[in-house]
Amino acid sequence: MKLKDKVAIVTGAGGGYGEGIAHYFAEQGAKVVVADIRGDAAEKVAGDIGAAAVACTADVTSSESTKAMVQTALDAFGKLDILVNNAGTTHKNQSMLLVDEATFDKVYAVNVKSIYHAAIHAVPVLEKNGGGVIINIASTAGVRPRPGLTWYNGSKGAAIAITRSMAVELADRKIRVCGINPVMGETGLTGQFLPGDDTPETRAKIIAGIPLGRMSRPLDIAKACGFLASDEAEFITGVLLEVDGGRCI
């Protein structure tokens, strides 16, 4: 119960990594705001968790929606200790010249600007609470970029740099800021990341580049987040933990 009595918001928690993080945090004693732009998905995950969770329909690209999300935590549980900026999106794996401007803008709005909105509305609340933890879900794509995902790679590189800068700037407010760099995982976006069709053969090529021999799973990311969010990591800030089966070695 390493997160006992903590209150956390997890964005993009209606599925994939976010769903895994929300469930694991609740198992570790936290109260969780399950936030997702898909309200029905958020409701389902919160319902599966039970009394320790509340659902919130939230668009992380919107300042007002993000403000309401933070208020949901205060209204439901009275405080906020942990914020996990997990919501993310990508473009199809293809030539960078084929990604249209609207898709580019959406990738940066969800993957980068959302961190800005979250900071604007959550940092004052965390500071008033005496401190807290922000965890940004970035990607190995920001560390070892590969062709076909150039604009996505750049968005995650930005998330990495922002995480480190936030950690330095917010340290005197007792707010730790860390990040996770997952390798490609088994989520709803997997097909978008793959070069070509989502076939066993295509997946095998990806897995061949991961020394531990498999893609990441939501529980892998959840456990790493649980450690960084806990008091066990009280002297850790500004780190980007690669949960990648050795991919970035």
**How far is residue 107's CA from residue 159's CA, in Å, rounded to a whole number?**
12
Contact yes or no for 57/63 (Cβ under 8 A): no
Question: Closest Cα partner for 242 from 176, 165, 178, 170?
Answer: 178
The one-letter code for the residue type at 140 is: T
Q: What is the DSSP letter of 171?
A: G
Q: How far apart are CA 159 and CA 16, in angstroms?
A: 19
Catalytic entry in 17, 24, 108, 152 = 152
H/E/C letters for each residue in 86-126? CCCCCCCCCCHHHCCHHHHHHHHHHHHHHHHHHHHHHHHHH
* Ramachandran class of 131: left when φ > 0, alpha when ψ lies in -120 to 50, beta otherwise: left
Closest among 147, 154, 43 to 107, alpha carbons compared: 154
- Could you give the residue ranges of the DSSP H alpha helices within 94-213? 101-108, 114-128, 150-170, 190-193, 200-207
Q: Is residue 244 within 8 Å of residue 140, measured between CB atoms?
A: yes
> Does residue 116 have an active-site annotation?
no
Catalytic residue annotation:
152
